Chains A and B, each alone.
Chain A
Amino acid sequence: GEDVEQSLFLSVREGDSSVINCTYTDSSSTYLYWYKQEPGAGLQLLTYIFSNMDMKQDQRLTVLLNKKDKHLSLRIADTQTGDSAIYFCAEIYQAGTALIFGKGTTLSVSS
Chain B
Amino acid sequence: DAGVTQSPTHLIKTRGQQVTLRCSPKSGHDTVSWYQQALGQGPQFIFQYYEEEERQRGNFPDRFSGHQFPNYSSELNVNALLLGDSALYLCASSLANRGSGGELFFGEGSRLTVL
Q: Which residues of A come within 8 Å of B, CB atoms?
A: 4, 30-31, 33, 35, 40-45, 48, 50, 88, 90, 92, 94-104
CA distance A35 to B102 in the complex (A): 13
A-B contact count (CB 8 A): 73
28 A–B pairs (Cβ distance < 8 Å), ordered by A: A33-B102, A33-B104, A35-B106, A42-B6, A42-B90, A42-B106, A42-B108, A43-B90, A43-B106, A44-B106, A45-B103, A48-B103, A48-B104, A50-B101, A88-B42, A90-B42, A92-B104, A95-B94, A95-B98, A95-B100, A96-B48, A96-B94, A96-B98, A97-B48, A98-B33, A101-B42, A104-B41, A104-B42
Given contacts A42-B108, A42-B109, contact A98 B102 (CB under 8 A): no
CA distance A104 to B104 in the complex (A): 18
Within 8 A of A (CB), among B31-58: 31, 33, 35, 40-45, 48, 50, 55-56, 58
Q: Is the CB of A98 within 8 A of B108?
A: no
CA distance A35 to B96 in the complex (A): 20
Residues in B with CB closer than 8 Å to A45 are 103-106
Residues in A with CB closer than 8 Å to B98 are 94-96
CA distance A92 to B105 in the complex (A): 14
